[in-house]
Amino acid sequence: MYEKENILSIFQETKEAILRGDSSRIKNLSNRTTNSASLTHDPDNIAAAVIIYSISKIIERTNYQKIPEWDKFYKSYLNSIDKIIEAIKKENYEAYRKEIRIMRSGISKFSGELEKSIQEVFRKASINKASKIYEHGISMEKTANLLGVTLFELASYAGERGISDAPGKQNVNVRTRIKFAEEMFE
């Protein structure tokens, strides 16, 4: 696990923001994790980014709180975050990864509307975070593989958002590319 202290801090701050119902703070924490994940390509950072972003989307949708199983779900996620924090403090990264898997798959123990809604949030969160990592310059294929989304899903989302035209991206013409390639073989 890269940047242990950063991930620990992010989960601690996420828990505080969940208790306050501050979805925008949680989303900002997810973005901080995405930046780290883009630099390190660390699956632990990437998993944290997706989980935290998903939580922000779930918290901001206050209509979910009216679904009968909401309280059970909410307590389950707070408990998982506590376990993640403890695992990171103890440098037990396998326990961290296990708890992340439980959070992602644990929604299947809920039924009906809540399960479907949260599964959709996780799927969209994975695609969103993949696009952010791709935007940071990681190849589309590697990004899709890291986040378990298809190239088609990522390409479609990136195309809709105009990510290839994002500010700061340099469009290099063919002549410049050829010159660069020739210089590599000199």
Structure tokens at 93: 């990264």
Structure tokens at 146: 């890291």
> Would the pLDDT of 101 be above 60?
yes
User: CA quadruple 169, 170, 171, 177: dihedral positive or negative?
Assistant: negative
Q: How far apart are CA 153 and CA 147, in angstroms?
A: 11
Percentage of the chain beyond pLDDT 90 is: 17
Residue 102: pLDDT band by 50, 70, 90 thresholds? confident
pLDDT at 90: 96
Could you give the C-alpha distances from 2 to 36, 121, 147, in angstroms and in order? 9, 26, 17
pLDDT at 85: 95
Question: What average pLDDT does this structure show over 81-104?
Answer: 91
Q: How far apart are CA 41 and CA 15, in angstroms?
A: 24
The Cβ-side half-sphere exposure at 131, using a 13 Å CA radius, reads 20
CA R_g for the chain: 18
Question: What average pLDDT does this structure show over 110-122?
Answer: 67
